[in-house]
Structure 1
Amino acid sequence: MVGRLPLKWSRHLGRCAGGLAVLFRTEGLRLSRINLRLCYPAMDAGKREQLARESVVSTAMTGCEMASLWHHSWAVNKNTILGVRNLQLLSQGNEDGRGTLVLMPHTGNWEIFGIFLASLRPSMALYAPPKIAALDSIIRTGREQTGAQMVPTNVHGVRALLKCLKAGHIAMVLPDQEPDMGGDFAPFFGRPALTMTLAHNLLKRTQCHCVFGFGMRVEAGFELVFLPAEKAIYSDEQKVSLAAMNRGVEACIAAAPEQYQWEYKRFRKQPQGKSTVYRKKQ
């Protein structure tokens, strides 16, 4: 039902839902406050609180936007893209036939970014079916509307990503959540965070190009932003590569910190064991 709404109205609905989430002090707001305190300890407390509230609203807006983007066709969705910044970074990776690994943090709206990428070159991404089975066909159809191929989040999916990159195509990976397959600790905003090793392994085995990107919410639509990856991300040393990847995520966040999904328990696991930082006080 939400998907049938134009983007303008789905955003308005999300803004209202996010406002209620702030008003009723939901779990998302509590977690956002904790993560922002950990990541921006020197920030003024009032500014940090405002950022936490804006993030909760932004996350609700993203959810409603996704429904609209999945439901509407590319002919409609492409009109929501009002600008693309640094697109030349994407083409650099294909000049010599190499594939391109695009790292897309949970900033703004990553759905529109992925749909756009697949409209340019053959693209592939890992996909885990939602817990609500009825949503599977809706999400899959929406994400594949420009030709992107969804592969499972297992060994078979990783092999498919390797073949995709070796063929000179685009592989899309969300790099800023705790990994299900393969991880190591690397600094994220100066704190140890369990970080996926998938991107490092793909870079090492395919010699592909790497770039960061996200769909930033702007008035009446989106601006798609590409940012360069540090040279260190190509290092054979895993810890060096992972640290560079996390700095790339930080650079994306810095462009629109209020649009980042701060509700995620990024520091739940620590080198010494499970962290208690997210535990509710009795």
Structure 2
Amino acid sequence: MDIKGYLAAGVLKLVGRLPLKWAQRLGRCAGGLAVLFRTEGLRLSRINLQLCYPAMDAGKREQLARDSVVSTAIAGCEMASLWRHPWATNENAIVGVRNLQLLSQGEEDGRGTLMLMPHTGNWEIFGLFLASLGPSMALYAPPKIAALDPIIRTGREETGARMVPTNIHGVRALLKCLKAGHVAMVLPDQEPDMGGDFAPFFGRPALTMTLAHNLLKRTQCHCVFGFGKRVKGGFELVFLPAEKAIYSDEQKVSLAAMNRGVEACIATAPEQYQWEYKRFRKQPQGKSTIYRKKK
């Protein structure tokens, strides 16, 4: 194991030993320092929020950027804790579940459910909860630091979810999962590794994955959005319905509806979304320069 990997794994294990509440406190302190020292995450969050909420009061938008940076740091520490503790412990952090009945629609007719989980709040506890209810599957890309792979993989599979690679073999596995009437989990709000097209996101073109559209078209499964919202005392798991347009055979119509679904999740807790991701890096005319640092 290289030194960097050894240290990263050691830090993750150390943070993971903390109870969830203490991990959240550590994350809040780390996020506060990130804001204080004006990190790259804060700079990128400001840019994205300016693009997505141009009409918002500047002071409110600045506070939202800072809150988001803190939330992201908290989420990172939360995940370390969730991966290292048993489900019997983590389950106690769930203080409410909203609209769970949306999940039962796919179970009732045996068509399966495509669960779209944006990077809002904590998606790890949401995924663990889903897998605890029945067979489920999710795409998994090993981290760049190889030493972290067994820790993350073991944590995500704690309640029975099956991790499959982000390639054609993984896609085939997702298709089989959905056709068997089970749950397939996909994170829909980052630039795709396998096929994409431009669709509006907060009114701006964003390269959007076509995987969800293809899965829906080929399996006729149900589609639901969801995430773990951080609330007082733990997490509220939120399920939101997808627009009918997401089932359209027309790819652009479906992708636009999917992005509106992501926006609906963000609206529930905008400060908990990971705004520092370079969502508009690629544009129809080529690579954008909006994230370039000004000299």
Instruction: Answer yes or no: same fold by TM over 0.5.
Output: yes
**CA shift at 1:220, angstroms?**
2.0
Name the counterpart of 1:247: 260
Distance in structure 2 (CA, Å) of the matches to 1:22 and 1:120: 38
1:197-216 alignment, distance < 5 Å: 197-216=210-229
Root-mean-square deviation over aligned CA pairs: 0.4
What's the secondary structure of 1:115's corresponding residue?
A: helix
Distance in structure 2 (CA, Å) of the matches to 1:204 and 1:121: 23
Using the aligned pairs only, state the percent identity. 90
Q: Which amino acid in the other structure matches residue 41 of structure 2?
A: G
Q: Which amino acid in the other structure matches residue 209 of structure 2?
A: M
Distance in structure 2 (CA, Å) of the matches to 1:132 and 1:233: 36
1:87-236 alignment, distance < 5 Å: 87-236=100-249
What's the secondary structure of 1:102's corresponding residue?
A: strand
What's the secondary structure of 1:262's corresponding residue?
A: coil
Name the counterpart of 2:28: 15
Distance in structure 2 (CA, Å) of the matches to 1:180 and 1:98: 26
Distance in structure 2 (CA, Å) of the matches to 1:133 and 1:244: 36
1:51 aligns with 2:71: no
Q: Deviations over 1:24-67 (max 9, x none)?
A: 00000000000000000000000000000000000000000000
1:73 aligns with 2:86: yes
Q: Which amino acid in the other structure matches residue 162 of structure 1?
A: L
1:265 aligns with 2:278: yes
Q: Tell me how many residue pairs correspond in the alignment.
A: 282
Q: Deviations over 1:134-184 (max 9, x none)?
A: 111110111001100000000000000000000000000000000010000
**CA shift at 1:273, angstroms?**
0.4
Q: Deviations over 1:77-118 (max 9, x none)?
A: 100000000000000121111110000000000000000000
Name the counterpart of 1:2: 15
What's the secondary structure of 1:95's corresponding residue?
A: helix
Q: Which amino acid in the other structure matches residue 90 of structure 2?
A: N
Q: Which amino acid in the other structure matches residue 256 of structure 2?
A: A
Q: TM-score, normalization: structure 2?
A: 0.95
Distance in structure 1 (CA, Å) of the matches to 2:79 and 2:283: 32
Q: Which amino acid in the other structure matches residue 114 of structure 2?
A: L
Name the counterpart of 1:35: 48
Distance in structure 2 (CA, Å) of the matches to 1:221 and 1:7: 9
Distance in structure 2 (CA, Å) of the matches to 1:276 and 1:137: 37
Distance in structure 2 (CA, Å) of the matches to 1:155 and 1:271: 25
Distance in structure 2 (CA, Å) of the matches to 1:137 and 1:269: 32
Name the counterpart of 1:85: 98
Structure 1's unaligned 5+ residue stretches are none
Distance in structure 2 (CA, Å) of the matches to 1:215 and 1:89: 15
Specify which of 251, 270, 289 is matched with residue 238 of structure 1: 251
Distance in structure 1 (CA, Å) of the matches to 2:134 and 2:119: 22
